[in-house]
Amino acid sequence: LMTLWMAVFIVFNSTTKAQHPSRQLSIIPEPELVTVKPGSFGFNSATVILYDDRNTAMKFIGDQFSEKIKAYTGKKIPVKKITALPGKNQIVFKLSDQLQGIGAEGYMMDIGSGGIVITAKQPQGCFYGMQTLLQLLPVNPLEGANVPALHIQDQPRFSWRGAMLDVSRHFFTVKQVKQYIDFLASYKLNTFHWHLTDNQGWRIEIKKYPQLTSVGAWRKRSLIGHFEEQPERFDTLPHGGFYTQEQIRDIIAYAQGKYITVVPEIDLPGHCTSALAGYPELGCGEKPGPFEVKDKWGVFDDVYCAGKENTFKFLEDVFTEVAALFPGKVIHIGGDECRKTNWKTCTYCQARMKKEGLKDEHQLQGYFINRIAQVLKAKNKRVIGWDEILEGNRLTSDALVMSWRGTSGGVTAARKHHDVVMTPTTYLYLDYYQGSPELEPLTIDGFNTLERVYNFEPIPAALNADEVKYIKGIQGNIWTEFIPDFHHLQYMAFPRLSALAEVAWSTPEKKNWEKFKHKMETEYSRYEASGINYSKSAYQVSF
Ligand code: TNX
């Protein structure tokens, strides 16, 4: 240990070294413009970080950078506010309204032998500049803490750069959720979609309805493998957990410090058996239930009753707490895969349809979604939902649509002038196989290799210039039926999260699979250095 410490210390104290000539830049996602210059900047014991204190968020960026450098070199660099004109050996994070051609999330970076300046319109841009700067350092600190001289001008292609985590099928701890948020941040993603409720577990404390978590957060056992398998196999372990509102606030604050908006999802009118387990009266018919939190995966008939006023009262109460907890403007209300079986025979649902003049159960789903959307609108929130929220043709105009069944839902939505997030199963589902199924751990389905994720183009050719502006971005989804722990979660996320980031951030002109593959060689060693578990299937011969 002592020797290692000495080695790190020596490297840290060595003066600027010449850039290793063979070292290639490996910035993921690829920036808009990079101009490499001769020379390099070397970090040493006299280096200081300076931040622009006209915005209170800036100090924390300097602090985070200092922490990262400490983890890398073993030595902390002091963080101070900018007081005088720039001097030597400084890393400066500053704000400016004057930046030409740089949007709200963009930044400029200039590295010379005398110092580094990162400039942005907002702190968020400086944060992204910091992420780029970290990727300019050699992966191995023993190669010397130095970065090449260059000029970078950079900004994202899309404003919604997301990743979803399903904590219902398997629960992940606060610490793990924060680590997941760290992954997103290092790739300049800005949206964490938190799938908090589903048939197999309710994971958010709602003060008014304690049984949502005392009952709904726990299941007795879990299916192992696929639901079609006969006979079915189960483990014998109870599974569960939930986040208190205090823990959720903590996670939101953590994400805010990394410029990530948390979008909570409360899935409805289907995918809700865990809520029904606690409050069976919310199901269809006179005497619904009893219900148990599901121990199998799949889609079930148990859904919220669309006829009873009680259902809407309950959901309004839930969203009152959710809206107060999450500061973000957008709240996800699910909408996916709602079976209409029970609605067809439920006297309450049929009465509702008659009263409202609804012709079929799809229109009833539209009615349901619209009522919830109105509830959230009154709380000054915008709803987003899976593409089924288009059903029934009465969606409020400010709702966003998440296109998951391919991109066609997104095309329809954009034509109706809804904002769209593209998250098609066939490219961006990160719970699918990423290599030959014989060599990969069991997954739910599908096949999305690193290359396939990388080559996804979010703007459908079918859209005209006016419609294209409704495509706000993309998202990768990690459903966790087959992902029981965090180690496995990392394996499914990596390396595909790296590809996803480039699709979300970089323009098509800057994307290049061959170059990306090359950059991934460095990226894999970054995973190794930070102890990230990842799949090595990307370059297996196709089968
Ligand atoms: C479909 S995507 C679902 C999820 C599953 C997923 C598995 C979506 C809106 N619904 O409930 O977990 O497939 O890939």
Other Cβ atoms less than 10 A from the Cβ of 244: the count is 13
Q: What tokens were used for 299? A: 């889609």
Other Cβ atoms less than 10 A from the Cβ of 475: the count is 26
Tell me the domain boundaries of the chain.
2-154, 171-193+420-534, 196-398
Residue 39 has pLDDT above 80, yes or no: yes
pLDDT at 24: 85
Among 337, 356, 481, 509, the one annotated catalytic: 337
Residue 62 has pLDDT above 50, yes or no: yes
Q: Which fold has domain 171-193+420-534?
A: TIM Barrel (3.20.20)
Closest ligand 1 atom, residue 479 Cα: 12
Q: Which CATH superfamily is domain 2-154 in?
A: Chitobiase/beta-hexosaminidase domain 2-like (3.30.379.10)
The per-residue pLDDT for range 490-504, each reduced to its tens digit, is 999 999 999 999 999
pTM recorded for the entire structure? 0.95
Residue 542 has pLDDT above 70, yes or no: no
Is 337 among the residues known to form the active site? yes
Q: Which residues contact ligand 1 via a Cβ below 6 A?
A: 336-337, 386, 404, 429, 431, 444, 479, 481
One DSSP character per residue, 232-245 reads -EE----EE--B-H
Please tell me whether the peptide bond between 141 and the residue prior to it is cis, using omega within 30 degrees of 0. Answer: no
ipTM of this predicted structure: 0.96
Position 1 confidence tier, pLDDT thresholds 50, 70, 90: very low
Residue identifier of the C-alpha nearest atom 7 of ligand 1? 479
Residue 543 has pLDDT above 50, yes or no: no
pLDDT at 87: 87
Distance CA 271, CA 245 (A): 22
Q: How far apart are the first and last CA of the chain?
A: 46
pLDDT at 11: 43
What separation in Å is there between the alpha carbon of 451 and the centre of ligand 1? Answer: 22
Q: Tell me the torsion sign for CA atoms 491, 162, 299, 272.
A: positive
Position 23 confidence tier, pLDDT thresholds 50, 70, 90: low
Q: What tokens were used for 174? A: 């606060």
Closest ligand 1 atom, residue 334 Cα: 9
Tell me phi and psi for residue 114, to 5 degrees: -85, -15
Residue 3 has pLDDT above 80, yes or no: no
Q: Do domains 2-154 and 171-193+420-534 have the same CATH topology?
A: no
> Please, is 316 exposed, middle or buried when counting C-beta atoms within 10 Å of its C-beta (0-12, 13-18, 19+)?
middle
For helices 123-136 and 58-73, angle between their N-to-C axes, nearest 10 degrees: 10
3-state per-residue secondary structure call for 105-119: CCEEEEEECCEEEEE
What separation in Å is there between the alpha carbon of 392 and the centre of ligand 1? Answer: 21
The per-residue pLDDT for range 121-139, each reduced to its tens digit, is 999 999 999 999 999 999 9
- According to DSSP, the β-strands at 330-334 and 382-386 are parallel
> What mean pLDDT is predicted for residues 194-220?
98
Q: Which of 19-28, 171-180, 233-242, 327-336 has the lowest mean pLDDT?
A: 19-28
pLDDT at 247: 99
- According to DSSP, the β-strands at 330-334 and 90-95 are unpaired
Closest ligand 1 atom, residue 337 Cα: 10
Alpha helices (H) along 429-476? 450-454, 465-468
pLDDT at 465: 95
- Residue pointed to by tokens 């999305």: 448
What separation in Å is there between the alpha carbon of 479 and the centre of ligand 1? Answer: 7
Distance CA 109, CA 27 (A): 13
- Mean of per-residue pLDDT scores for the chain: 94
The per-residue pLDDT for range 273-296, each reduced to its tens digit, is 999 999 999 999 999 999 999 999
The per-residue pLDDT for range 308-364, each reduced to its tens digit, is 999 999 999 999 999 999 999 999 999 999 999 999 999 999 999 999 999 999 999
Q: Which CATH superfamily is domain 196-398 in?
A: Glycosidases (3.20.20.80)
> Please, is 438 exposed, middle or buried when counting C-beta atoms within 10 Å of its C-beta (0-12, 13-18, 19+)?
exposed
Residue identifier of the C-alpha nearest atom 6 of ligand 1? 479
The per-residue pLDDT for range 225-237, each reduced to its tens digit, is 898 888 899 999 9
